[in-house]
Each structure stands twice: as C-alpha cells, then as structure tokens.
Amino acid sequence: MLVKKIGIVGIGLIGGSLGLAIKKYKLAKRVIGICRHRNTLQEALRRKAVDIATTDLNLLSDVDLVILATPVGVIKEIASLVSKTIRRNCIVTDVGSSKKEIVLKLEKLFCNYVGSHPLTGSHNIGVKFADPTIFKNSLCILTPTKNTSREVLFKIKELWEAVGARVDFLSPALHDKIIAFTSHLPHLVAFSLIDSLPVKYLKYSAGGLKDTTRLALSSPQLWRDIFISNHKETLGSLKQFKERISFLEWLISKRDAEGLYIFLKKIQRKRSKIL
C-alpha cells in the first residue's frame, strides 16, 4: 500500500484509469473521486474506478495524496480550491500535458507538489473508456524543481511505477519544449490535414489517412487548452515543421527524384528509431 487515502480530481480517461489501477494494485485503502458532472460520478461508481464519487471538494480534507486529473485549462483553477481543503502535508501531483505554467502556479499553492505527465491515452475521452492497464510499459515524466522534496518525488515515482509506467525526469521548461514536438505538433498536423481535405473526398479515405489523422478525433476543448498553455513551444515546433514541409515542396517542384529519395530515406531511418 502506497498511502491510506487518495483523491482524484477529474474522473475522465486518465483519472478513471488511475483509479482502477490504484484499486487493482491495492495502492490505497480508499479512492475518492471528485468531478463536476453527476453522470460522470455515476459512471465512475459503476466502473468501480473510485470508492466514493462526489462533487464536494471537502471530502479531500483527510486524504494523503491528491491527483489533479482535470483538463489543463482547469488545473490551475481547481488547484486553488483544493489548496483550501487539503491538509498541509498532503502530497499533490497533476497529469497535465504542459508543465511550465502549471508547476509555477502549483508550487506556490502546495508544499508537497511535483508535476507528472503520463505519456499515454486515447482520442476517446471519459471514464467509460478507463483502463487500468493503460499505463503499462508507458513513460511518465516527472518535472521536479529545486523546491521539490525528494521524499515527495520518490513517492510519486513509486505511484507511477506501481501502475506499470517507466519514469523519467525533466525540468518543466524542457518538458514543454520536447512535448511540443512529440505530442502537440502531431495533433496540430492531424487537425490541419483533415481541415485541408474537401469533404467530398473523405469517402475515398484509405487506411493511411485514417491512421495519420486519428489524433484529429481528440477533444477540441482539451487540445485548445494545451495549445494555449504551451503556446510558445508549440509555435516553435510548428515553425520547424513548416520549414521541412517547404523543403519537401521545393524538392517536388524541382522534380528532384534523387533528392526526394535521399530525403525520404533519411526520414524512414529516423522514424525507425521510435520504440
């Protein structure tokens, strides 16, 4: 057992999956789920993702660990409310996809905080899609700072490893720079690619288009907030992508068969390095 009582604020795909995994591996005696929508509370209880489901933040008053699993745009707002309820020594983490702004805010609110970002998920949203095995063999990034307690850091590391994830450490700023390329940019590309297609062509879609644009099925609200939260680094990754597209455009315009082959072969080798 990791701690006696865990509170999860936001019982969607990640929050619900964490609840199921915590219960599956017996990491806490009790899991309390907090969210705003009554139908989500009912579904979380039906799925047994939590032991108690409520809209009342006051039920977090005696928990040992709080996980903020709301969308990025809500984390800072809900954290302020949570800080007025929990005990001073309560450990806090979040699962936001951007970190710099969130860590800066939450470190001021909580003395036992470290940021987390599990690199897993799905375009499907909601606790009905929760899966306790979603973290197995995935990577979770922790974003400690000079203010982070080693005890808190290792406790959160223990949590993620217990649900099956590998753990790595990055500064909040470096996390946002890297994830802008590996996560935020692919979503931007998928959204833009679909937007560029005439609707009347969609019925001719083959597997390649479906595979490439699966990310465009992701939650618009969720990704709106992520793009805005990490806007500087996201724009930087987009600028570099536009440069590579322009180079590819130039090769095609010149009908440079050899240049195209060399360019595509180099990219193929680079893609093969993704585990």
Residues constituting the chain: 275
φ and ψ of 54, to 5 deg: -155, 165
Domain spans of the chain, in order of start:
5-170, 174-271
Give the span between the Cα atoms of 177 and 172, in whole angstroms.
9
Work out the number of other CB atoms within 10 angstroms of the CB of residue 240: 12
Provide CATH code, domain 5-170: 3.40.50.720
237 DSSP β-pair partners = none
At residue 125, the pLDDT reads: 84
- Predicted TM-score (pTM) of this structure: 0.92
Residues ≥6 apart with Cβ < 8 Å to 205? none
> pLDDT by residue for the chain (275 residues), tens digit each?
789 999 999 999 999 999 999 999 999 999 999 998 889 999 999 999 999 999 999 999 999 999 999 999 899 999 999 999 999 999 999 999 999 999 999 999 999 999 999 999 887 888 999 999 999 999 999 999 999 999 999 999 999 999 999 999 999 999 999 999 999 999 999 999 999 999 999 999 988 999 999 999 999 999 999 999 999 999 999 999 999 999 999 999 999 999 999 999 999 999 999 87
Q: Do the first three CATH levels of 5-170 and 174-271 match, i.e. the same topology?
A: no
How far is CA 169 from its chain centroid?
15
Give the DSSP H/E element, type plus range, for residue 162. helix 150-162
Parallel/antiparallel/unpaired status of strands 52-54 and 65-68: unpaired
φ and ψ of 85, to 5 deg: -110, -45
Under DSSP, is residue 185 helix (H, G, I), strand (E, B) or coil?
Answer: helix
List Cα–Cα distances, 46 to 39, 51, 66, in angstroms. 10, 10, 22
What token pair was written down for 152? 């808190």
At residue 44, the pLDDT reads: 93
List Cα–Cα distances, 16 to 36, 59, 62, 68, in angstroms. 14, 18, 21, 12
Give the DSSP H/E element, type plus range, for residue 78. helix 72-83
Give the span between the Cα atoms of 159 and 18, in whole angstroms.
10
5 DSSP β-pair partners = 30
How far is CA 77 from its chain centroid?
18
Parallel/antiparallel/unpaired status of strands 166-169 and 5-9: unpaired
**CATH topology (fold) of 174-271:** 6-phosphogluconate dehydrogenase C-terminal fold (1.10.3660)
At residue 38, the pLDDT reads: 86
| Three-state SS letters, 246-257 | HHHHHHHHCCCH
At residue 274, the pLDDT reads: 87
Give the span between the Cα atoms of 115 and 97, in whole angstroms.
10
Give the span between the Cα atoms of 68 and 116, in whole angstroms.
10
Residues ≥6 apart with Cβ < 8 Å to 13? 121, 122, 124, 125, 126, 127, 129, 130, 134
Give the span between the Cα atoms of 148 and 191, in whole angstroms.
37
